[in-house]
Structure 1
């Protein structure tokens, strides 16, 4: 699975140093299920995606919904396990982050994000 660095251009901050990209039906369906935590600097970019759930999850997450121009449409803070998130029809992708990361970076609706390729070490 490829990885990207997700930055908030509006706030000049980094949401995730290494976010895995879930873009196949299987990887989108699997998401973070079966994981014990999201490490600091980690995340999951799911595309396309308009809604997520945390059924079967073991820990809370922050969820950031972005549209086709990477503008933040909605932020769900500290989404606990066993929940069904909002359906955001204007969303093109969802970024799942460690709980508290969206607040730490002051990410909010209207901010512009970008996803940059993570370069491998040589």
Structure 2
């Protein structure tokens, strides 16, 4: 199968400590635009205390997409995905905008 490489042109922040992973995007008032959050390690997310929907992309250690959630709404949660190593949270609609699908390889610039 030919894997599609996708470059995300947004600023992607990293959450790789206990506190930053726990907080994620909670308590932000406005929806994210042109930015994202990469949570490492992470194989499931919750949307508790969120005020807006997001797209969620679960990746393995090679940044290959193993699961996607379109427009995940506040106060929802995903089940753990055994094959996932990290989670990329993006503005709602990004999965369709960039043509992300299972098997895609994601490339992005990380800002800490």
| TM-score (norm: length of structure 1) | 0.82
Partner secondary structure for residue 114 of structure 1: strand
Q: Give how far 1:41 is off.
A: 1.3
1:10–1:90 distance in 2 versus 1, CA, 3 Å: same
**With CA pairs under 8 Å and 6+ residues apart, which has the higher RCO, 1 or 2?**
2
Hey, what's the Cα distance between the residues in 2 that align with 1:21 and 1:69? Answer: 16
Match of 2:39 in 1: 46
Q: Give how far 1:38 is off.
A: 3.9
1:70 aligns with 2:63: yes
Q: Give how far 1:114 is off.
A: 2.2
CA RMSD of aligned residues (A): 1.7
The number of residues matched between the two structures is: 109
Q: Give how far 1:106 is off.
A: 0.9
Q: Give how far 1:116 is off.
A: 3.0
Hey, what's the Cα distance between the residues in 2 that align with 1:34 and 1:100? Answer: 21
1:33–1:25 distance in 2 versus 1, CA, 3 Å: same
Tell me, which stretches of 5 or more residues in structure 2 are unaligned?
none
Indicate conservation of the 8 Å contact 1:11/1:106, yes or no: no
